Structure 1
Amino acid sequence: MRILCWNTDETVWRHWNRIVGSEVVLVRVTQWSQMLEALQSEDGSFRYCFIYLDNENFSERVELVVSLRASHPQQKMIVFPNQASQQAALRLFSVGVSGQCAPYIGEEQLKLVLSVVESGEIWGGKAFIQQLIMQSAFAMNSGDAELDGLSDREQDVARRIGKGLSNKQIANDMDITERTVKAHLTAIFKKTNTKDRLSLALMVQKSHAMH
């Protein structure tokens, strides 16, 4: 597995090399232009992008990640911010970033993160994701999409997404399979013009707040 890493910090870079498994090849770039070139020349050959966000020009770097998501929507990206910013996290998750981790994450924790992201879930710590979902929905621009076009079953799934439940929890709650949950979510994303479960959750929260 090859992972493209934008990392400008030598200490953090050495740490990442220590904690990844032997089957992982980290490819490092230190300039944003190199990041773009690598993805354009080998688009699809990197399983993940690891992006270290240091304190210098932090907000600008967040926006660079947003632009990268727009140009490479299929690429899984995990950010490693050097400062805690709920606003930045909401911005990044809203455009489809797969996870957020501490730069000095432990070996076992990283394995768990990759496992969760690989299954299609968002990683940011369960409590943090729940916190994001429960925030006032005006922080997101949900567009003109409506939930009214969903079937009763799809609305049941959407409501549970709004509560922060995982696919497994929804399946158990509704007595259906996880595969069925995923099928419902695919249809829901299409009908509501949302890109991921966080966007959908915020839309659900907004809808409830208006009624």
Structure 2
Amino acid sequence: MKILCWNTDKAVWKHWNQVISADVSLVRVEALDGVYEALQSASSEFKYCFIFLQDKSFPKQVEDVVALRSVFPHQKIIVFPNQTSQAAALRLFSVGVSGQCAPYIGREQLDLVLSVVDSGEIWGGKKFIQQLIQQSATTAQVNESELEGLSDRELSVTQCIAKGWSNKKIAHELDITERTVKAHLTSIFKKTNTKDRLALALLAQNYYPVL
């Protein structure tokens, strides 16, 4: 069995090789483009895709995973965030990510995670996920009414963000320039009191149950 790993941290990569089963082969890529290329050329070859979410570009990587899921909806993805984020966890679980684990997970626990995910379940526990959704929904309700103050164009951009689209794709779909997309986002962040794409996407998902 082969597992595709998007990992830019040498220490974490070394640890994964130490705890993975002997019959499993890990294939490492260090850039998002490499993930797409690997899955497009041999999508059936990789049973899982491990993704290490580093601190430096955490919000962007979360949205990169969302976009990845939209292109490869059947690929089992397990994320290994280097920080705790309720918003990020909810965002990732909501788009179908199979599990979330600590980067330095132990051998026995990793075997358990893969067993659970292989059976079609989500790793993290139902109780944890239910609490996550309830807490995030409560937090988001404070901001939901602020989406009503957005213009029609800003609402369109917001819905695109919730789908994990890049500025380039949004510009293409809405027939506007990327510079205009950025201007809209600046305005949207200010009106909704959100600080980044991740926070805005989570808010939009609560406002629009089905996107």
Shorter-chain TM band: 0.5 to 0.7
- C-alpha separation between the residues in 2 aligned to 1:136 and 1:79? 19
Aligned to 1:22: 22
Aligned 1:185-204 pairs, distance under 5 A: none
The question of 1:113 aligning with 2:118 is answered no
Q: What's the CA shift string for 1:103-158, capped at 9, x where partnerless? A: 000000001101111111111245422312433647599xxxxxxxxxxxxxxxxx
Aligned length: 144
Does the residue aligned with 2:83 lie in a helix, a strand or coil?
coil
- C-alpha separation between the residues in 2 aligned to 1:115 and 1:56? 31
Q: Which has the higher contact order (CA 8 A, sep 6+)?
A: 2
Taking only aligned residues, the RMSD between alpha carbons, in angstroms, comes to: 2.2
- List, as ranges, runs of 4+ consecutive aligned residues in structure 1 with deviation greater than 4 Å: 136-141
Aligned 1:127-206 pairs, distance under 5 A: 127-135=127-135, 137=137
Unaligned runs of 5+ in 1: 142-201, 207-211
- C-alpha separation between the residues in 1 aligned to 2:133 and 2:108? 26
The question of 1:70 aligning with 2:70 is answered yes
Aligned to 1:94: 94
Unaligned runs of 5+ in 2: 145-204
Asked whether the equivalents of residues 62 and 92 of structure 2 are also in contact (C-alpha less than 8 Å), the reply is: yes
Identity %: 65
Structure 2 residue identity aligned to 1:13: W
Does the residue aligned with 1:102 lie in a helix, a strand or coil?
coil
Aligned 1:47-58 pairs, distance under 5 A: 47-58=47-58
Structure 2 residue identity aligned to 1:46: F
Q: What's the CA shift string for 1:39-97, capped at 9, x where partnerless? A: 11111210000000000111000000000000000000000000000000000000000
Change (3 A) 1:5 1:136: closer
Q: Calculate the TM-score normalised by the size of structure 1.
A: 0.64
